[in-house]
Amino acid sequence: MLLFVGQFQHSLDDKGRLILPAKFRREFENGGHLSPNMDGCVALWTPGEFARKSAEYLEAGRHGTTDERRQSRFWATNSSEVEVDRQGRFPLPPVIREFAQLEGDVIVAGNLDHIELWNPQRYAAQVSVAEETFVRGSDE
């Protein structure tokens, strides 16, 4: 099982490429897949995890509710395969950058089975809510 953990900040270059932290590169030697993700970030998947996630969306697209079918369609049509070069760079297609509002600095965050790419302001908003929950503790 993959366990991507940690947080890094990198910047998009003039060509719309991002550097993958060295700690994560080994898992993407054979490329990866980008897809829109919940909460307005982009997910970077290894080929195996992308196949697993695709199977979930395929099932939802075939047998789910109207909203699930729409989500499946949006996810599939906006996902793309990427190659990571020797310097650890990979391109982010314009549609993906627009979806997640990625310009300049990008937060690269491990989320166990995938990596998330965040606009720093969106990430800060998500983290502050999660931090409050951790400080407060579970209500259950």
pLDDT at 132: 82
Diameter of the chain measured on Cα atoms: 48
pLDDT at 7: 96
Kindly list the distances between the CA atom of residue 55 and the CA atoms of 47, 52, 58, 62, 117, in Å, as whole numbers in the listed order. Answer: 12, 5, 5, 11, 22
pLDDT at 140: 56
Domains and CATH numbers, the chain: 7-136 (3.40.1550.20)
7: which strand partners? 109
pLDDT at 60: 85
Kindly list the distances between the CA atom of residue 116 and the CA atoms of 38, 69, 73, in Å, as whole numbers in the listed order. Answer: 10, 23, 20
Question: In the structure encoding, which two tokens stand for residue 54, read together?
Answer: 């695709």
Round to whole Å and give the CA distance between 99 and 138. 32
Helices in 1-140 by DSSP H: which ranges? 22-25, 47-63, 66-77, 94-100, 120-136
From the CB of residue 119, how many other CB atoms can be counted at a distance below 10 Å?
20
The tens-digit pLDDT sequence of the chain (140 residues) is 578 999 999 999 999 999 999 999 999 999 999 999 999 999 999 999 999 999 999 988 898 899 999 999 999 999 999 999 999 999 999 999 999 999 999 999 999 999 999 999 999 999 988 878 888 876 65
